[in-house]
Amino acid sequence: MAKTLITLADATLGYPGKDTLIDANLTFDEGRVACIVGGSGCGKSTLLKALIGLLPPKKGQVEVLGTNLYGSDENQRDAVLRQIGVLFQNGALLNSMTVLENIMISLQEHTNLSDGLMEETARLKLAQVGLEHAATLFPAELSGGMRKRAALARSLAMDPVILFCDEPSAGLDPVTAAGLDDLLLSLKEILDITIIVVTHELMSINAIADRIVMLKPGGIVFTGSLAEAKDSPEPEVVAFFRRKQLKGAEGKVSLLEQMENQRP
Ligand SMILES: Nc1ncnc2c1ncn2[C@@H]1O[C@H](COP(=O)(O)OP(=O)(O)O)[C@@H](O)[C@H]1O
Ligand SMILES: [Mg+2]
């Protein structure tokens, strides 16, 4: 049995004065790629925020790497947060710094490495994402795909045990997005990390997911393997996974898909 790295125990997630988004028991196991999927606004990013220490549950517990993330011990919590990497939706690179400097930020903050070692580590991370040639460039000089890779290198700087990604392929063309999926899969193998990805891209889900957690407004509608998701009779799950198949069969793009393709 794979080790459980994350447990939501009767956790209620939401915002003050708003309807509950998620009220769930949920676990994530070591060594898998889990995709959190579901329609826009159903709470995917909210779930991610709760898992990375940015949103305390209204009720219940969020346990990450054996620690209650919102318990009283701040040192323990910081120790856990140092072991997770996050690739935010917008990449969030600092424009005034080079790619290399961006990656060195968290090393400067969290380690006592010498400048030389820090630079060496940052260059290694850049090599892992195929950007060794871009170390001295500024974010504005990078393509969308390169920016994502640079942000990914930064999220890997501290050798995380778990990597969280929010819509990593948003705004990328299909070829670049597929390249990013391949990179995530190879990083999972090489670095032996657990990856949790928020995405609604079926191509990505099919390429990378071992496990699916599907949300709908008000809660979790499905958890299970990718194969189980495709066999699920749940109407929301069927509707989600049929989108592309229907398009393929009829050669038509649904309105939902057209709208999604137009999203920035
Ligand atoms: N900081 C916030 N305060 C209040 N409501 C929020 C906040 N962030 C998100 N929401 C609301 O919570 C719901 C879920 O948002 P989100 O988790 O971002 O959805 P998703 O990532 O699935 O598109 C939305 O209705 C959104 O408006
Ligand atoms: Mg989101």
Cβ–ligand 1 distance for 40 under 6 Å, the answer: yes
Does the CB atom of residue 20 touch ligand 1 within 6 A?
Answer: no
Mean predicted confidence (pLDDT) in 32-60: 95
Q: Is the pLDDT of residue 249 over 50?
A: no
User: How high is the pLDDT of residue 187?
Assistant: 94
**Which of 26, 67, 31 minimizes the C-alpha distance to 47?**
26
Can you tell me which atom of ligand 1 is nearest the CA of 42?
A: 22
Write down the pTM of the prediction.
Answer: 0.90
Residue 148 contacts residue 88 (beta carbons within 8 Å): no
| Predicted local confidence at residue 113, as pLDDT | 93
Q: What is the spatial distance between Cα 119 and Cα 114, in angstroms, rounded to a whole number?
A: 9
Confidence of residue 257 (pLDDT cuts 50, 70, 90): low
| Band of pLDDT at residue 258, cut at 50, 70 and 90 | low
Beta carbons within 8 Å of 37's beta carbon, 6+ residues apart = 44, 198, 199, 200, 205, 212, 213, 214, 215, 240
- 71 CB less than 6 Å from ligand 1? no
Q: Answer whether 194's CB lies under 8 Å from 161's CB.
A: yes
Q: Whose CA is nearest to atom 2 of ligand 1?
A: 15
- Report the pLDDT value the prediction gives residue 208, as an integer from 0 to 100: 96
Q: What is the mean pLDDT of the chain?
A: 90
- Nearest-atom number in ligand 1 for the CA of 14 is 12
| 3-state helix/strand/coil string of the chain | CCCEEEEEEEEEECCCCCCCCEEEEEEEECCCEEEEECCCCCCHHHHHHHHCCCCCCCEEEEEECCEECCCCCHHHHHHHHCCEEEECCCCCCCCCCCHHHHHHHHHHHHCCCCHHHHHHHHHHHHHHCCCHHHCCCCHHHCCHHHHHHHHHHHHCCCCCCEEEEECCCCCCCHHHHHHHHHHHHHHHHHHCCEEEEECCCHHHHHHHCCEEEEEECCEEEEEEEHHHHHHCCCHHHHHHHHHHHHHHHHCCCCHHHHHHHHCC
pLDDT at 254: 52
Query: Which residue has the least CA distance to atom 3 on ligand 1?
Result: 15
Residues, Cβ < 5 Å to ion ligand 2: 44-45
Q: What's the pLDDT at 39? A: 87
Confidence of residue 247 (pLDDT cuts 50, 70, 90): very low
Residue from 153, 162, 150 nearest 63 by CA: 162
Q: What pLDDT is attached to residue 63?
A: 97
Determine if ligand 1 sits within 6 Å of the CB of residue 43: yes
Whole-angstrom Cα distance, residue 52 to residue 118?
Answer: 24
d(CA 136, CA 150): 12
Check the CA dihedral 28-32-36-37 and report its sign. negative
Q: Check residue 264 and give its pLDDT.
A: 47
What's residue 89's pLDDT? 81
Would you say the CB of residue 54 lies under 6 angstroms from ligand 1? Answer: no
Is ligand 1 within 6 A of the CB of residue 41? yes
Q: Is 43 exposed, middle or buried (0-12, 13-18, 19+ CB in 10 A)?
A: buried
Across the range 53-78, mean pLDDT stands at 94
Average of per-residue pLDDT across 147-162: 95
Ligand 1 atom with minimal separation from the 40 CA: 23
Q: Residue 174 carries which side chain, given as an amino acid letter? A: P
What is the assigned CATH class of domain 1-83+160-234? Answer: alpha beta
pLDDT tens for 175-207 read 999 999 999 999 999 999 999 999 989 999 999
Which residue owns the Cα nearest ligand 1 atom 1? Answer: 15
Owner of token pair 């009767």: 10
Among 72-76, 87-91, 157-161, 182-186, name the one with the lowest average pLDDT.
87-91
In angstroms, what is the span from residue 41 Cα to ligand 2's centroid? 7
Give the pLDDT score at 250.
Answer: 42
For residue 242, the model assigns a pLDDT of: 83
Mean pLDDT calculated for residue range 210-227: 94
Domain ranges in the chain with CATH number 3.40.50.300: 1-83+160-234
Q: Choose the weakest-confidence range: 40-54, 204-218, 241-255.
A: 241-255
pLDDT at 1: 77
Nearest CA to ligand 1 atom 16: 43
- Structure confidence at residue 246 (pLDDT): 47
Q: What is the pLDDT of residue 251?
A: 42
The CA distance from 44 to 56, in Å, is: 15
Each residue's pLDDT tens digit, 100-148: 999 999 899 889 999 999 999 999 999 999 999 999 999 999 999 999 9
